[in-house]
Structure 1
Amino acid sequence: MNTIALLTFLALTICVALLSWIKTRKEQLHTLSGLFFANRKLGFVAVGCGLLFANINTALFVGENELTYINNMSVMAWGVTSVLAMLVVSEFIIPVYLKMGISTTPEFLALRYDNSTKTIVSIIFLLNYIINLLPSVLYSGAVAFNGLFHFSEHYQIGYWTTIWLLVWVMGIIGGLYSLLGGLKAIAVSDVLLGIGMFTGGLLLPFFALKHLGDGSLQAGLAKVLSSHTDHFNSMGRSGDAIPFGTIFTGMALINLYYWGTEQYIVQQVLGSRSLADCQKGIALACVGKLLLPLLINIPGIIAVHLYSGLSNTVEVFPRLVADVSSPVYSGFMAALMFGAAITTFNAGLNSSATLFTLNIYKPLAIKRKWDVNERDYLRAAKRFEMLICLVAICIAPFMMFAKGGLYTYLQKIGGLFSVPIFTILVVGLLTTRVPPLAAKVGLFFFVVCYACTQLVFDVQVHFLHVLAILFVMTTLIMLLIGKWKPVPVPFRLAGNSMVDIKPWKNRHFYTFLLVLMAVFLFVLFSPLGLAR
């Protein structure tokens, strides 16, 4: 274990925490709006960095580099195509949320369908966070830090024990950070991390290529461009974890769900001070997503030339960082990954408490006429955060047994919770007479059928294609129920905006540029470009 790297990591992490505390110590956190939405005062830089770092975590660093190492650049599609999804969401879905003044995405479903639909969807969200999101962030963070600092080797303790210890440390720190700082502290940390990533973080390929070329950047680049060039191919092969055709089916649906429905993502934009700031922030996050292959894919390609036959491929990224960079830079990258993991974990905790408090606990208290006030709701929210934090800590180490690569496993399990919710949201947005019964039947049909295809029957169809097929089938079932039992009064959007909803006037020009950049990346990493 390198002492200089560890001290650099600790110094940078403490500085970020200290600056976040200084910026938020006067923030009003004794209200639900202050704790969950930063009092709806976030500017576009905070929104953009918040979106990016709610999305970026160690699971992304570790998982995508692992898949690039095993397969090729086809895994890049998750991030690059998400830009298109983000732009669609920015134009068509977020304006609806801000106009209606909602606090959670299930709240829209309550207005469109009924309260029981909201409760069901809130429970599905919470299950996804508790089983999938929060444990994966802690586990991948533990793997990354053990790979960087070699705790298990230095202290002569087993790998399994080391992962447990690191998961507990990260979970406790993340839980305290979320409880004490709320969304505002998370947003401040995200801005600082964004500055770090867009400066020093993107230098990792430079150091890796110099290491590969024995000190010469040109020699390292020549090696990467002259051999194993099939790893540059973003079009992929049929046997890859992410076949190219899935971009147009289940991947598109998951990305649209993620950026337009996922509570811990949407909550970042619901805290914005205006629709224009929100749309600018989404555009800024898109720029970050287009730069991210330098951190989450290219290192995996360089690792192909450095390591062969790794027994534990999940350690590709942390091992590369530790081997190719100076101790100071290793400490810097450790701080960046730790911050990314903690902010995603915090965002998940904060959103889970939001869902529980506003969609489950508060309606129950009103229905049963409990004598509760704002302070009682805050207390319930913080207790719930502590509870799910402990549950996630206990589940996280068992992510070690995921098969087929950590990132693919997470997406496959996430599909069980995500696309069913997105399906009923889309039908709710595009129709006015489909009844609540259709939403409940649609959720049940989708979840049961998808679970059967992944856990019971071997259908020999990629899970992303299965999601797309079930999306179409569920939509048709909901429309048929709408024809059979339409609601007597058609749904109408009601305005209750808490912020200015005037859109950003230059958004279409920047949308064109961002789409052009996304297409360019696919051409660059294809048989027409570097994969020749």
Structure 2
Amino acid sequence: MIWWPVGASLFASNVGSGHFIGLAGSGAASGIAVTAYEWNGMFIVLLLAWIFLPIYISSGVTTMPEYLKRRFGGKRIQIYIAVLYLFIYIFTKISVDMYAGAVFIQQALHWDLYVAVILLLAITALYTVAGGLAAVIYTDALQTVIMLVGALILMVFCFIQVDGWEGLQDKYFKAIPTVRDTNTSCGLPRQDAFHLFRDPVTSDLPWPGVLVGMTVPSIWYWCTDQVIVQRSLSARNMLHAKGGSLFASYMKVLPFFMMVLPGMISRILYPEEVACADPEICTQVCGNALGCSDIAYPMLVMKLLPVGLRGLMMSVMIAALMSSLTSIFNSSSTIFTIDLWRYFHPRASEWELMIVGRVFVLVLVVISVLWIPLVQASQGGQLFIYIQSISSYLQPPIAIVFMAGCFWKRTNEKGAFWGLVLGMLSGCIRMVLDFVYTAPQCHEEDTRPAVLKYIHYLYYSVILSVFTLIVVVVVSLATEPPTKENISRLTWYTRFDKPVQSALEIKTVDNDRDSASPDRQQLSTMEDSHKPDSKVKSAILCICGLERKNERNSQEPPKPEPNTCSLDEDPCKKHIVNANLIICMCTAVFLWAYFA
């Protein structure tokens, strides 16, 4: 494993089809402010490699819920966080990617939305059924190249149509649909469309929320999410992990040019469809009365590109979808089997874990398909805003607990648990209110409760983060401190400690040695070696990437492979990546300042 597949996989996992459709649609609707999410991620993905990853590597964990279990002890946090991760994947990842990919196929082939969803799932299943993490990472790296080539070609065609950057700035404000209510702002482009920093009270993305409110969910995504972190954990050493994060950070510059600006150009070229302001017309165009900005990117592909390049862009969108879905399926299956199923069935065999993981992925898919209508109707039909609003309600409590566990040694299990419970309860209440009281359209009066009307979801993210942190600190200080084994090698300050073996582990090892006699070991080995597999079972094992092995006891749960990534760094190469860190951060600061 070398550094660039890790970085390409990080980028591909982030830039799924939902990202293409969502960013382009939000760019068409509100301008370049959505780019703030991308350029905020340039800093946060670097935090993963330089700050969080050394802690995870020293702790020797396989999953993020497993880290919380070791850091705080007990099982309830591990189980609780594993369930939360799976719910977040359904609400903000799987359903969104399936919907976005289906929108693209729907525009291209005029198929029914759910027929397109089933087709996408079938295509994805063809090559994921036999894949593990290594297969996902290398296919992500290949698909990243396809995505970049196709998207950059489309970007060139777009800028030719509007006569470059100056033409875009001039024509965007003239892109107004002919059918609209002139007494309202419906169909009019925002006057601050080319600004990253917008009014803190009246704008759709207030600048204090952009700077603070989106940072905490971004930390969850880049520094504590299983989908992202497991790619960095697979690196050979810290230098490769840092190189991968740097590569991904540099790549985060591109979505602004590949997705957001083409989305704005799509509004210029097709204002009657992309910027439709009449509910009846929007229903005829895209089947969504709330708006059709989500079709901005598919419209460009189908109407602007010649036939041959359309096929390339179809492969780009399918590659983006498959990269994202395979990453999520792999991570979801790992979390469910390792953190949940093995808790209830501690002696589950490798065969059982494989079957359970595959079946659970099917369950996730079914639930996600049922959630698609809510994705379509939420946040005025803007997919990317839906993703970020749900993230602002569900992710801050988890991010705060991880940060407290990593950087404050006094954090204990009770503080972390009650911070998660109360923080998540507050976030879920706001999320439910968002679904019950949908955002009004431009011609409607805002009659929502004050917590929705006056508190932007990015501001709510800040409030939720502060509330969770207060709960964690107060409860931790009011209860007993954590034990040494819950701190050693599990925080930033103790990552170089010598491993601590608890008394319970020593006792378990001694009991295992006493109970395992040579006769029993030999008998078990002979039974396993002479136990034939049926042809059907052997075929399924081969397809799923599993092989029958002679084990001392087939009923023992398979132990995860030890983490091969090392904290050791070559001094010369360390200086190179640190210099690149400074260059990358300076690039991000320049972009923020230029477009602020």
Q: What's the TM-score, normalizing by structure 1?
A: 0.83
User: Which consecutive residues of structure 2, in runs of 5 or more, have no partner in the other structure?
Assistant: 174-191, 277-281, 283-291, 434-448, 491-498, 500-561
User: Identical aligned pairs, as a percentage?
Assistant: 23
Q: 1:145, CA displacement in angstroms?
A: 2.0
Q: 1:185, CA displacement in angstroms?
A: 2.4
CA distance, structure 2, for counterparts of residue 93 and residue 250 of structure 1 = 20
CA distance, structure 2, for counterparts of residue 220 and residue 483 of structure 1 = 59
C-alpha contact (below 8 Å) 2:394/2:428 kept by paired residues: no
In structure 2, do the counterparts of structure 1 residues 509 and 231 end up closer, same or farther at CA, with 3 Å as the change threshold? same
- 1:376 is paired with a residue whose SS is helix
C-alpha contact (below 8 Å) 1:142/1:163 kept by paired residues: yes
2:567 alignment counterpart: 501
Could you tell me which of 221, 228, 232 is aligned with 2:194?
A: 232
Residue by residue over 1:67-111, the C-alpha shift from the partner in whole angstroms, topping out at 9 and shown as x without a partner, is 111111111000011011111121110111122221111111001
C-alpha contact (below 8 Å) 2:411/2:482 kept by paired residues: no
In structure 2, do the counterparts of structure 1 residues 120 and 321 end up closer, same or farther at CA, with 3 Å as the change threshold? same
CA distance, structure 2, for counterparts of residue 188 and residue 63 of structure 1 = 25
Could you tell me which of 130, 149, 165 is aligned with 2:90?
A: 130
In structure 2, do the counterparts of structure 1 residues 441 and 119 end up closer, same or farther at CA, with 3 Å as the change threshold? same
CA distance, structure 1, for counterparts of residue 325 and residue 344 of structure 2 = 27
- 1:284 is paired with a residue whose SS is helix
Q: 1:220, CA displacement in angstroms?
A: 4.8
Larger mean CA deviation between 259-268 and 425-434 belongs to 425-434
1:278 aligns with 2:344: no
Could you tell me which of 315, 338, 345 is aligned with 1:365?
A: 345
1:524 aligns with 2:594: yes
1:297 aligns with 2:270: no
2:432 alignment counterpart: 455
What does residue range 351-362 of structure 1 map to in structure 2 within 5 Å?
351-362=331-342
Letter in 1 for 2:488: R
Q: 1:393, CA displacement in angstroms?
A: 3.0
C-alpha contact (below 8 Å) 1:75/1:241 kept by paired residues: no
Larger mean CA deviation between 279-288 and 480-489 belongs to 480-489
- 1:432 is paired with a residue whose SS is coil
Residue by residue over 1:23-74, the C-alpha shift from the partner in whole angstroms, topping out at 9 and shown as x without a partner, is xxxxxxxxxxxxxxxxxxx321111111011101111111111111111111
1:170 alignment counterpart: 120
C-alpha contact (below 8 Å) 2:64/2:226 kept by paired residues: yes
C-alpha contact (below 8 Å) 1:72/1:236 kept by paired residues: no
CA distance, structure 1, for counterparts of residue 11 and residue 350 of structure 2 = 31
Q: 1:222, CA displacement in angstroms?
A: 4.1
2:167 alignment counterpart: 223
In structure 2, do the counterparts of structure 1 residues 226 and 130 end up closer, same or farther at CA, with 3 Å as the change threshold? closer
Q: 1:511, CA displacement in angstroms?
A: 1.2
1:36 alignment counterpart: none
1:69 aligns with 2:28: yes
Letter in 1 for 2:167: K
CA distance, structure 1, for counterparts of residue 482 and residue 120 of structure 2 = 52
In structure 2, do the counterparts of structure 1 residues 520 and 204 end up closer, same or farther at CA, with 3 Å as the change threshold? farther
What does residue range 418-437 of structure 1 map to in structure 2 within 5 Å?
418-437=395-414
C-alpha contact (below 8 Å) 2:214/2:392 kept by paired residues: no
- 2:481 is paired with a residue whose SS is coil
Residue by residue over 1:217-260, the C-alpha shift from the partner in whole angstroms, topping out at 9 and shown as x without a partner, is xx354422434474322223454432222122220101111000
2:45 alignment counterpart: 86
2:5 alignment counterpart: 46
Who wins on radius of gyration, i.e. which is larger? 2
Residue by residue over 1:382-430, the C-alpha shift from the partner in whole angstroms, topping out at 9 and shown as x without a partner, is 2222222233233335422222311111221223332111111111112
What does residue range 13-28 of structure 1 map to in structure 2 within 5 Å?
none
Structure 1 or 2: more helix by fraction: 1
CA distance, structure 2, for counterparts of residue 145 and residue 234 of structure 1 = 32
CA distance, structure 1, for counterparts of residue 85 and residue 136 of structure 2 = 20
In structure 2, do the counterparts of structure 1 residues 64 and 395 end up closer, same or farther at CA, with 3 Å as the change threshold? same
Q: 1:454, CA displacement in angstroms?
A: 4.2
User: Which consecutive residues of structure 1, in runs of 5 or more, have no partner in the other structure?
Assistant: 1-41, 153-161, 213-218, 527-532
2:307 alignment counterpart: 327
CA distance, structure 2, for counterparts of residue 415 and residue 328 of structure 1 = 40
- 2:132 is paired with a residue whose SS is helix
In structure 2, do the counterparts of structure 1 residues 240 and 346 end up closer, same or farther at CA, with 3 Å as the change threshold? farther
1:179 aligns with 2:171: no
- 2:450 is paired with a residue whose SS is coil
- 2:262 is paired with a residue whose SS is helix
Could you tell me which of 474, 479, 490 is aligned with 1:480?
A: 474
1:111 alignment counterpart: 70
CA distance, structure 2, for counterparts of residue 499 and residue 516 of structure 1 = 29
C-alpha contact (below 8 Å) 1:65/1:297 kept by paired residues: yes
Higher relative contact order (CA 8 A, sep 6+): 1
Q: 1:489, CA displacement in angstroms?
A: 2.4
Q: How large is the RMSD of aligned CA atoms in angstroms?
A: 2.0
Letter in 2 for 1:224: L
In structure 2, do the counterparts of structure 1 residues 328 and 131 end up closer, same or farther at CA, with 3 Å as the change threshold? same
Larger mean CA deviation between 241-250 and 104-113 belongs to 241-250
CA distance, structure 2, for counterparts of residue 125 and residue 144 of structure 1 = 27
CA distance, structure 2, for counterparts of residue 194 and residue 56 of structure 1 = 9
C-alpha contact (below 8 Å) 2:55/2:406 kept by paired residues: no
C-alpha contact (below 8 Å) 1:433/1:487 kept by paired residues: yes
1:344 aligns with 2:324: yes
C-alpha contact (below 8 Å) 2:95/2:368 kept by paired residues: yes
CA distance, structure 2, for counterparts of residue 237 and residue 316 of structure 1 = 26
In structure 2, do the counterparts of structure 1 residues 470 and 391 end up closer, same or farther at CA, with 3 Å as the change threshold? closer
CA distance, structure 1, for counterparts of residue 594 and residue 155 of structure 2 = 17
CA distance, structure 2, for counterparts of residue 222 and residue 383 of structure 1 = 53
Could you tell me which of 146, 156, 161 is aligned with 1:211?
A: 161
C-alpha contact (below 8 Å) 1:250/1:466 kept by paired residues: yes
2:366 alignment counterpart: 390
2:147 alignment counterpart: 197
Could you tell me which of 267, 270, 275 is aligned with 1:307?
A: 270
Q: 1:289, CA displacement in angstroms?
A: 0.7
CA distance, structure 2, for counterparts of residue 395 and residue 454 of structure 1 = 14
Residue by residue over 1:306-338, the C-alpha shift from the partner in whole angstroms, topping out at 9 and shown as x without a partner, is 132323221111101222211211211121111
- 2:125 is paired with a residue whose SS is helix
2:526 alignment counterpart: none
Q: 1:150, CA displacement in angstroms?
A: 3.8
